[in-house]
Every structure is written in structure tokens, then in C-alpha cells.
Structure 1
Amino acid sequence: MAASKDKSFLIQRGTTYLVNVKVPAHLREIIGKAHLRQTTGTDSLARANLIKHGIIHALKQQIEEAERVHGGKTKRAVGSRIREAMQWRLDLQQAQDYDRDNPEAEAWDITTSLLAERAEEIEEAEGLTRAKEFHAIAIGKANPISAHVDQWIAERPMKPRQQTDYRRAVAKFTAWLAAGKHPEAIERITKRIAGQYVSEAFSNAGVHPRTANKDISCIASLWKWAERKGIAKENVWSGQSLPKPKAGRKEEPRPFTNEEIKTLFNGKVVAVGRRKPALVQPSPMLRDFMTIAALSGMRVEEIAKLTVEDVTNGYFDIHTAKTKAGIRQVPIHPALSEIVTRRTDKRKPKDTLWPELPEPKPGSPIEKSQKVVKEFVTYRRQVGVDDREEGARQSKVTFHSWRRTFVTKAEQAGQQPHLIEVVVGHKRPGMALGVYSGGPLMEQLRTVVESVSLPSGVSLPTINQNSHSGSVLAPSTS
């Protein structure tokens, strides 16, 4: 293969080539990604091949550093030692139970003697600190963090994806403890150790405060749980969060402009690589998703979970949501008639509206809408709809901007804020509306939804009234 045609370690996003390096499976939980990627800043494959080698080297150094600090023999040895100590704890409990039933037996004395001998072996091999921690865990005077994670997660209702984030945050912290030879028992983590972790893992490493605070919040949640259980005496993570950067108005996420909406729906003529300029448009599925999001204010995952029976009474029936307020009914905008009818026609009530999307396995952290979000990111970049400040974590326009756009247009149409909040699933403020009110009428919500429209220049398909027996927009009279 000619060097100029070589695409090893390269992927294309929009018109630009990125270097892509795979992260080893055992380090993905620590690094937080399956791949490390960095742009070459060029749409030329030949130029990208000249640039990529230095980037590959830099990305591989990151992986090697993670392996050295987090994924090496020290972490595995410490993890193994904790599991061994927990097994000794079980053995001691069983010995105690046996002695209780057999007064003449000496199982407890024999087991504690053997444990002391094992602690001496560890002291010779790994030092006094490790030996003391091992012994404290074995006799139940210290509780290793890893031994409580499953129970903590089980008692905290979360989506699989949130569970993955929480486990990853704790795994990164315990890996740091192992690398620095700090104690790994909850009771022995002091505010000083917690503060040192925040400084070394986040502040000194240049991690964005929002990302750092997400991890710190996850670990603090474990400590709050441990405090309630009587395992931890105090939450050493209190006050450890990094100060949030003061974001100017220009840095805030925003809704789409009318021109951006037109571009996203109508497409744009662009040149990809060395190909001749061609019209790039959204796929039929992505176009349907964008239309529903723009004219309902629904979240992308709420749309992805829709089934036929969820749209047969003139409204979208949302059964599961992030909050209690998110469980709601959203009137179907008349402009969505063709989409909804097409996607429900001749299908069973339990059938999904989106057969193109794979169903995540039970317990999977992957959400059903993930494919849509990824496709949207690629598409909007291809057509030039992007707004990213230098050094920013992400663009100010994302799929969630459709939700911001809906709220903005409803407000600009003069709709009452408390009714908009019901439509989009936000908690209503105040005692009167938030507690005492039984909620607005569906016709009030329909007025809010129908006040929103796409800008002129965006054409949507209309339903052929002769090809279907009825409209999905009309509430059932049966």
C-alpha cells in the first residue's frame, strides 16, 4: 500500500482526519475511554500520514503512563491482597460460629494464630504498613473501599450508564491509592489524602473542573453512604470540589439559530476529502429524530424509547424519565403526522418506532439513543454546524440544543413558562403549582406545542390522507 493511501491509526470525522489509538481493555476503566483520539487538523490523507506518527507516540505515552501508575503489578497485588484479607475475615467468622456450637473447640484461636503468621509474611515482603492494613481488614477493624461498592450501587437507584460512571470514579481513586501506597480502607482515608488526590489527579493534571467535580461527587456519594452505615466517621470529600469556572454568556450551551436549523434539515454541499462537492443530508432516521425533538422538546432517549402504543392517543406517552416531572404526556404536533403515522402503520402496540436502533442488553450502560447522538455529531460537523470555544470540552450546540430551541421558540411565541415546563418535563416551581395543582389541561399543553414551528425554508413531508384509515393526532374516541 502506498504511504499516501495508508489509513492505519486514522479515522475520518467530517472532513478531518483524526489519529485513533486503542486503549487496552484493562486500562479503559481508569482512562475512561476505549480509544484516545486527536485531530491532525487536515483533510488531506497524505498530510495526515506525515503528522500522525508524532501524535501516535504522544497518545501511546499516555497509555504507558496509565499502565505504570494505575494498571501495573502494584494495583493487581493490592487488589489480590484485599480479597485475601476478606477471605480471612470470613474464615474468622466461621471459626467463631464453630466455637459457639462446640465449646471445647479452638477454631478461633487457631485461625487468629495462622492470620498473625500470614501478616508477618506480608510484612517481610511488602512492609509493615501493608501488613497492618491487611490484618485490620481481616479482623474487621478496617473496611476496604472495593468491598462495599456493589452494595452501595445496589442501594442507589441509577441507570446502568450512571453505575458505570460511579464505578469508574471509584476505580480511579483506588488505583491512585495503590500506586501511592496509601491505605485503601474507608476509615483510614483522611481529608488530607482526599485533598492530595484532588490536587494530583485533577488540579495538577489540568482536568476541567466540571469533569473533576463529577468524579469527586461520585466518590463523595460512596462516603455519604458509608457514613450512614456507620463505616465512615465523616465525609472527607466535603468541600473538596474544584471551583466552577465563571462561564461568560458566550461559553454557555445554546439553541440552534434559524439558519442552523435550515442547514441541518436541508443539508449542505460539501467536499469530503478529494471527492467532488456533493449534497450531504441527514439520514431518514436522523431527520425524523430531529423533527420530533424540535417540535416536542423531548430528550433524545425519550424519543428513542417510544413504542407504537405510546403515540396512539394524540400525544407522546413518556413512562420513564430522569425525574418524576419527566413522566408526562406531550401533545403530538400536527407537523409530525406523517412521521408518526409512517412509523406506526401496520405495527403492533409493543413494537418500537425505531427498528433501525439496536436494543441495548439488560443492564448495559449504552443507551438506545447513542447511535443517533453519534450520527448527529458527525452530520452537523460535516455541514458546518459547530460552535466550540478554544479549549472547550464540547460544542455549544449538540442534539440537546433541539430541546433548548423548542423552549426558546415557545417562550418567544408568548407561552406561559409554567406550561412550557410541563411540556418539557421540568419540575414546576412554587407551592401552588408544584404541590397543590393537579396539572394543566391537555389542550393547554397542545397550545404550547403548536405555537412552535420550524423556520420558513424547511419543508416537512405531509401525510397522504387517502392511504391511511385515520390520523394518529386525533385522540381515541373508543
Structure 2
Amino acid sequence: MYLVKRHQKWWAMHDVPPRLRPIMGLKRLAKSLETEDERVAKRRAQLLWVHDWSKRVEEAKRGAPHIEEAETAFLRRLLTQADTEEEKQLLMDSIRDETQERIDRALSRAGYKDEREVPEDEEVPGVAEAERFFKLATGVLTPTLEHLDEWLAGLPNEAKTKDQKRSTVVKFGEAFPYLQDVNRKAVQRWFQRRADEEGLTTKTLNRYLSELRSYWAFLRSLELVPEEGSPFEKLAYNGKKSGERKPFSPEDVVKLLRAAEEKNDKSLADLITLAMWTGARIESLCKLRIGDLKGDHLRIEDDKTPAGNRDVPIHSRLKPILKRLVKESQDGFILSGLSVNKYGDRSDAIGKRFGRLKADLGFSEAHVFHSIRKTVTTLLENAGVSENVAADIVGHEKPRITYGLYSGGASLETKRKALEKLAYPGL
């Protein structure tokens, strides 16, 4: 929503998304706020949005579009499945009659008997929508998102990844409501706008491209788009450069730990402690159960990569903390009581708390929780620990082919001696 001043009075405006315009019958919501005072106008606009406009937009998203799209999709299927030309012609005649009835109703609401009475420069609300109904029903237009659920249902991905793919295609569908709107030049502009307006990185844009190509290939398999000439080929766009993650210094890790303790965020302080003495990923630490504590080591399984599945010796400084955490656990997890998001991820909320903590301390976007893992790796390197032993501790692929292919990995005792070399100032 935005404000526009007309004839000394403020007006509230809201541009209707392209895919909802046929449903709502207009391109823009507009209403005079009956005031010259901008502060009063902002307050009235907020009330207007909360009590009226937002509900109208949500109703359009939930209701009519699905009814209309389902009806036209049904008619398209009947046309393609018609056994004879006569049957197909009868159906076409029925669709034309329905379209004309819609146009007649729209003209009647506007006070006209037929289209000849309408001035050339006037658009009668509902007429364009009726014509679009005809194009959708006869297959001249195909909604871009019509087969989205069908595509997602056939993917082997987890729910979180599917939701990510859905979000990408829905954003694309809002800009290109119909498959017939999609062409390479327009797609090129859409990608560059995402980079310019949303500050997306090239890495994120490349993910968008991969997901959209996959959806387009599915549509091609249904013979809904041309076999040749994909609009997603030979695109050029410049996204924001991804900042390389930097390690915290050992002093910084201690600073973060003390800050979490001062905030009385015990769970976050314990998470930082576990990370600084193991080098494990946040997701792995939050998934650790009491059963993963195997006497003198932690067993990390179901990690991000096969190399991440490993046994990590317990540093002497970590033993009393783990003993306390096991005693206090109420749910079987070493880090007990963490909130779980809709994907079953226990690291999401506490990870965001860490993000706010490090931002409050003045750390940049290049410093994330994963930076503690880099700190541990750096400390091991500076202590003279071999690269292969360090890889076995933090769960990296072996850097050299001989160890990577043939070695069974460093022993627990070798890893324990290496981990005991970790040290942080003031602890």
C-alpha cells in the first residue's frame, strides 16, 4: 500500500497482483482518505488495509481463483479429450455462449445494452475477464502455476526443499501468470530485477534458475510448452557477490560465549560451548540425543555429508558440561527444550538467536555460527595437527586421494590428542 496526494487530499493505493486482477476485476485498489494531514492519512490507510483491503486480497487468493481455474482447466480437458469434431464444436459453442453471457452481465452492470454503446476509450469492468475466461477454457492461455502441485508431488525432496521450490515458482508465476507470457527476454529482465531490487546473490539466482528449468521440463513433458527454445537458456544476470564466511578469532568465540551467558541464554551458551570444543555443525549439535553419547566420545550421524558421520572424542573441558546437560534433559536430547519448526528442525530458532547475538556484538554477515567450525579448524592447523586428522574430527572429505580412498580414518586416541590442543584465552 502507498499514499498519493490528489487535489490536496491523500489517497490510499494498492496495486493488485497480476494473477488476481481477473478475479477482483480491477488493477488497483484506491480510496480517498479525506484528509490533507499525512500523519492522519497513514493512520487511516493502515486501518483501511487491516479491516478491508487485506481481507479482499486474501479472499481472492483463497477462493475465486481456484474455482475459476478449476472450471477452465476442466473445460480444456474436455476439449482435448473430445472423440469427434462435432463433440468438440458443441463444447466450443457452449464456451462461447458462457463467455457472451459474462460479457452481457458486465455491460448490464455498467448500464449498457450491448458493446456498441461503450465508448472506444472506456474499459467496462468484467469484459476483459470474460474474454480471458474464453482463452483459458480453450487453451489459448494456460495458468503458469496450474501444474505446480503435480510437479512437486513427483519430487523426492524433503518438505523444506519442496517449499523452497514452491516459493520460487510462485514468485515467477506472479510475474508471469500464464505460460504464454513467458519468453527469454522477459525472463532475463525478471532475473535481473530480483538481483537489483531484492539484492539476491548470484548463487541464489542460480538456484532459482535450476528450479525453474526443472518445472519447465515437467511442463514440456505434458506438452504444455514448446519442445524447443527454452526461455531459461543463455541468461545473463549479475547478482550480489556472496561474502566468504570468516572464522572467529579464539577471543571472539569467548566473547560470544560470555555475551550469551550475560543474556542468561543458557541453551545458546551451551550450543556455543559444544561447537568450540567439537567443531560440529549447528544442525548436528541440535540433533544430538543422549544415546549419541558413547562414554568418551560423541557419535554424529545423519550429517550433511557422508564424511560428516563420525565419532568425536569429548574434550576434557566439555565433560562436565555434557554431564550436566544429560542430567537436565527432559526430552532425550543433549540440548534439551529447543523449539522445532514445521520441518522438524531444532536449530532454526536458536540459530536466529545466535545471529542476533553476533550482530549486537558488531560482527559482519561474513561471520555466522559456521564460523566457529572454521575457528576450530584454524586452531587445529596452528597446533600442528595434520590435515587428515583435522578432517576426521570436523567431518570433512579427506584432502588427499590415498587417505580418502583407502584409510579407515584416524583412531579415537589420535583425534583425542589433537582436540586436547584446542585452547581459548581466558578459559
Indicate conservation of the 8 Å contact 2:136/2:142, yes or no: no
Residue identity in the other structure for 1:135: A
Measure the CA separation in 2 of the matches of 1:89 and 1:114: 12
CA offset at residue 80 of structure 1?
A: 4.9
Indicate conservation of the 8 Å contact 2:307/2:396, yes or no: yes
- Of the structure 1 ranges 279-288 and 335-344, higher mean CA displacement relative to structure 2 is found in 279-288
Indicate conservation of the 8 Å contact 1:122/1:130, yes or no: no
Indicate conservation of the 8 Å contact 2:279/2:372, yes or no: yes
CA deviations on 1:188-214 (whole Å, 9 max, x unpaired) are 6221231132234443x2623345444
CA offset at residue 246 of structure 1?
A: 5.6
Q: Report the equivalent of 2:170.
A: 171
Which protein has greater RCO, CA pairs closer than 8 Å, 6+ apart?
Answer: 1
Unaligned runs of 5+ in 1: 1-25, 28-52, 101-105, 179-183, 269-278, 389-394, 459-478
Measure the CA separation in 2 of the matches of 1:154 and 1:321: 26
Indicate conservation of the 8 Å contact 1:161/1:367, yes or no: no
Q: Report the equivalent of 2:358.
A: 380
Measure the CA separation in 2 of the matches of 1:404 and 1:380: 16
Q: Percent identity?
A: 21
Indicate conservation of the 8 Å contact 1:307/1:353, yes or no: yes
Indicate conservation of the 8 Å contact 1:421/1:427, yes or no: yes
Indicate conservation of the 8 Å contact 1:216/1:241, yes or no: no
Q: Report the equivalent of 1:242.
A: 237
Indicate conservation of the 8 Å contact 1:213/1:241, yes or no: no
Query: What is the SS of the residue equivalent to 2:318?
Result: helix
Q: Report the equivalent of 1:337.
A: 319
CA offset at residue 327 of structure 1?
A: 3.4
Q: Report the equivalent of 1:405.
A: 375
- Alignment of 1:358 onto 2:334: no
Q: Report the equivalent of 1:455.
A: 424
Residue identity in the other structure for 1:254: K
Query: What is the SS of the residue equivalent to 1:322?
Result: coil
Higher gyration radius (CA): 2
- Alignment of 1:189 onto 2:182: yes
Query: What is the SS of the residue equivalent to 2:279?
Result: coil
Q: How do 1:257-296 and structure 2 match up within 5 A?
A: 257-267=249-259, 280-281=262-263, 283-296=265-278
Measure the CA separation in 2 of the matches of 1:324 and 1:303: 16
Partner residue of 1:443 out of 383, 397, 412: 412
Aligned-residue Cα RMSD (Å) equals 4.3
Unaligned runs of 5+ in 2: 1-15, 18-38, 104-125
Indicate conservation of the 8 Å contact 2:280/2:373, yes or no: yes
Relative to structure 1, is the Cα distance of residues 89 and 128 closer, same or farther in structure 2, using a 3 angstrom cutoff? closer
Q: How do 1:78-477 and structure 2 match up within 5 A?
A: 80-89=67-76, 110-118=90-98, 125-126=127-128, 130-131=132-133, 133-137=135-139, 144-178=143-177, 184-185=178-179, 189-203=182-196, 205=197, 207-210=199-202, 211-227=204-220, 232=225, 233=227, 235-240=230-235, 242-245=237-240, 252-267=244-259, 280-281=262-263, 283-345=265-327, 351-360=332-341, 364-365=342-343, 367-382=345-360, 384=361, 386-388=362-364, 395-428=365-398, 432-434=402-404, 436-437=405-406, 439-443=408-412, 446-447=415-416, 450-458=419-427
CA offset at residue 303 of structure 1?
A: 0.9
Measure the CA separation in 2 of the matches of 1:255 and 1:401: 4
Measure the CA separation in 2 of the matches of 1:136 and 1:426: 56
Relative to structure 1, is the Cα distance of residues 338 and 119 closer, same or farther in structure 2, using a 3 angstrom cutoff? farther
Relative to structure 1, is the Cα distance of residues 115 and 378 closer, same or farther in structure 2, using a 3 angstrom cutoff? same
CA deviations on 1:315-356 (whole Å, 9 max, x unpaired) are 3333323333333333333322112222224879x8222332
Measure the CA separation in 1 of the matches of 2:414 and 2:367: 26
Relative to structure 1, is the Cα distance of residues 341 and 239 closer, same or farther in structure 2, using a 3 angstrom cutoff? farther
Measure the CA separation in 2 of the matches of 1:318 and 1:378: 27
Query: What is the SS of the residue equivalent to 2:298?
Result: strand
Relative to structure 1, is the Cα distance of residues 387 and 133 closer, same or farther in structure 2, using a 3 angstrom cutoff? farther
CA offset at residue 428 of structure 1?
A: 4.0
TM-score, scaled to structure 1? 0.61
CA offset at residue 115 of structure 1?
A: 3.6
Measure the CA separation in 1 of the matches of 2:222 and 2:397: 31
Relative to structure 1, is the Cα distance of residues 128 and 190 closer, same or farther in structure 2, using a 3 angstrom cutoff? farther
CA offset at residue 452 of structure 1?
A: 5.0
CA offset at residue 415 of structure 1?
A: 2.7
Measure the CA separation in 1 of the matches of 2:262 and 2:167: 38
Query: What is the SS of the residue equivalent to 2:338?
Result: coil
CA offset at residue 254 of structure 1?
A: 0.7
Indicate conservation of the 8 Å contact 1:258/1:455, yes or no: yes
TM-score, scaled to structure 2? 0.67
CA deviations on 1:39-82 (whole Å, 9 max, x unpaired) are xxxxxxxxxxxxxx89x99x98xx99xx99xx689978666543
